[in-house]
């Protein structure tokens, strides 16, 4: 399973309430497509965050989360977003868009569910991936997912941990914690 994450901000001067409503409308329309047309393995999710370190905007950031079974389904999502019934809702949100960064993550462990907390971090120097998995395994209870960036497509963190409740990462992990407000 892979996750396409897209962090974005509205253009300066755009009302955030309007922006969020247009984003929700787009995702609701996307949910109506069958998976063979959208490429999605589950309904999309949209969140509001106060900020992320890799976004130059000093204002709230929106995060779209799209789960797919493989990278091959990225083309379906890309095509679905700008054709058929999604042309108008996509054009409406795109007209308000300011800047954004997308990243592709593999689901390393756990399952992505409704999340309220996100943690963004890099693998500590000298730590193997096996040691990382062992250290984080106790956190991977129901609804917690460990994501690892696939290739370097943008400035986002190497790892993300999405959780339905706050967690404490063990030493020596240093993470940027961001609350996720579901739209």
pLDDT tens sequence across 80-131: 888 888 999 999 999 999 988 889 999 999 989 889 999 999 999 999 999 9
DSSP E strands in 23-144: the ranges are 45-49, 61-68, 97-110, 117-121
| pLDDT single digits (tens) 8-63 | 999 999 999 999 999 999 999 999 988 888 889 999 999 999 888 877 666 789 99
Contact assessment for residue 42 and residue 159, using Cβ atoms and an 8 Å cutoff: no
Q: What is the pLDDT of residue 5?
A: 94
CATH class of the domain at 2-182: alpha beta
68 confidence band (pLDDT: 50, 70, 90): very high
H/E segment holding residue 21: helix 16-31
Q: What is the pLDDT of residue 81?
A: 87
Q: What is the pLDDT of residue 161?
A: 96
Helical H segments across 32-178, by residue range: 35-38, 74-80, 87-94, 129-136
Q: State the pTM of this model.
A: 0.91
Nearest to 160 by CA among 109, 100, 99: 109
Range 145-154 average pLDDT: 87
Q: What is the pLDDT of residue 57?
A: 63
DSSP strand pairing (145-149 vs 97-110): antiparallel
Cα–Cα distance measured from residue 100 to residue 170, given in angstroms and rounded to the nearest whole number: 31
């Amino acid at each position: 399973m892979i996750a396409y994450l897209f962090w974005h901000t509205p253009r300066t001067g755009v009302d955030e309430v309007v922006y969020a409503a247009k984003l929700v409308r787009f995702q609701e329309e996307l949910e109506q497509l069958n998976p063979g047309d959208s490429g999605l393995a589950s309904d999309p999710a949209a969140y509001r965050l106060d900020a992320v370190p890799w976004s130059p905007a000093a204002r709230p950031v929106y995060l779209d989360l799209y789960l797919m079974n493989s990278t091959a389904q990225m083309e379906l999502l890309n095509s679905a977003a700008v054709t058929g019934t999604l042309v108008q809702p996509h054009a409406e949100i795109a007209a308000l868009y300011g800047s954004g960064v997308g990243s592709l993550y593999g689901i390393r462990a756990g399952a992505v569910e409704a999340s309220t907390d996100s943690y963004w971090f890099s693998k500590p120097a000298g730590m193997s991936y096996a040691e990382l998995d062992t250290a984080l395994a106790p956190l991977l209870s129901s609804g917690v997912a460990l994501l690892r960036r696939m290739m370097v497509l943008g400035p986002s963190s190497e790892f993300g941990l999405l959780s339905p409740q706050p967690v404490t990462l063990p030493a020596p992990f240093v993470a940027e914690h961001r609350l996720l407000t579901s739209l």
